[in-house]
Amino acid sequence: MLAAVAVPLAYFLRFGYGFGYSDQDEFLPWLRARLEPGLLSEDWFVASQQSGFNVRTGFVWLLEAPSHLLGIENAVLLLYAGAMLALVLAVYHLARVLGAGEMGAIVASLAAVALLPRWTLGGNAAASSMLVPSLVAWSMGLWAVVNALRKQPGRAGLLVGLAAWIQILVAAQVGAIVLFALLVAGPTTRKQAARFALPALGLALPVAVLLALSGTGLPSDSFAILARIRAPHHYLPSAFPASDYLQLAALTAAGLWALSRTRLKRSASLNRLVGALLAGVLVAVTVGLIAWKTDSAFFLSLQPFKATVLGQILLVCTTCALLPSTRLPGWTWTGALVAVVAAWAMIAAGFTVGGRPDIRQAPAAAAAAWVAERTLPRDRVAIPPSVTGFRYSSGRAIVINFKAYPFTADGTGEWLQRLTDWAPGALDGAGNSNWRATASTLLPALDAGYESLTPDSLAALCVRYEVQIVVRRTPLAPHPGFQMAARDGEFLIYTRNTA
Residue boundaries of the structural domains of the chain: 52-320, 365-496
Query: What is the rounded CA–CA span in Å between residue 364 and residue 350?
Result: 23
CB atoms within 10 A of CB 236: 18
Query: Angle at the Cα of 319 (from 313 to 325), degrees rounded to 5?
Result: 115
- Across residues 172-185, what is the average pLDDT? 98
Query: What is the rounded CA–CA span in Å between residue 386 and residue 401?
Result: 6
Query: What is the rounded CA–CA span in Å between residue 208 and residue 187?
Result: 30
**pLDDT at residue number 439:** 67
**pLDDT at residue number 496:** 95
279 and 181 Cβ atoms separated by less than 8 Å: yes
pLDDT digits (tens, 9 = 90+) for 184-205: 999 989 999 999 999 999 999 9
**pLDDT at residue number 22:** 93
Least confidently predicted of 299-303, 324-328, 468-472: 324-328
Paired with 359 in beta bridges are 17
pLDDT score of 287 more than 70: yes
499: confidence class by pLDDT, cuts 50, 70, 90: low
Residues present in the chain in total? 499
Q: Check residues 227 and 343 and name the one with the higher pLDDT.
A: 227
397 and 44 Cβ atoms separated by less than 8 Å: yes
Task: Give the distance, in angstroms, between the CA of residue 206 and the centroid of all CA atoms in the same chain.
Answer: 23
pLDDT score of 221 more than 80: no
pLDDT digits (tens, 9 = 90+) for 450-487: 999 999 999 999 999 999 999 999 999 999 999 999 99
pLDDT score of 260 more than 80: yes
Least confidently predicted of 133-137, 217-221, 449-453: 217-221
pLDDT over 70, % of the chain: 96
- Across residues 357-384, what is the average pLDDT? 93
pLDDT over 90, % of the chain: 79
CB atoms within 10 A of CB 355: 7
What stretch of H or E contains 360?
strand 359-360
**pLDDT at residue number 350:** 79
**pLDDT at residue number 431:** 52
29 and 40 Cβ atoms separated by less than 8 Å: yes
**pLDDT at residue number 378:** 95
The DSSP annotation for 170-209 comes to HHHHHHHHHHHHHHHS-HHHHTTHHHHHHHHHHHHHHHHH
- Pair type for strands 397-398 and 359-360: unpaired
247: confidence class by pLDDT, cuts 50, 70, 90: very high
- Integer angstrom CA distances of residue 297 from 55, 150, 228, 492: 18, 36, 11, 41
336: confidence class by pLDDT, cuts 50, 70, 90: confident
Q: Which of 429, 454, 458, 427 is nearest to 443 (CA)?
A: 427
- Its pTM stands at 0.95
Least confidently predicted of 3-17, 234-248, 346-360, 432-446: 432-446
Query: What is the rounded CA–CA span in Å between residue 377 and residue 343?
Result: 43
What stretch of H or E contains 6?
helix 2-15
136 and 79 Cβ atoms separated by less than 8 Å: yes
Question: For all residues of the chain together, what is the average pLDDT?
Answer: 93
- Pair type for strands 359-360 and 17-18: parallel
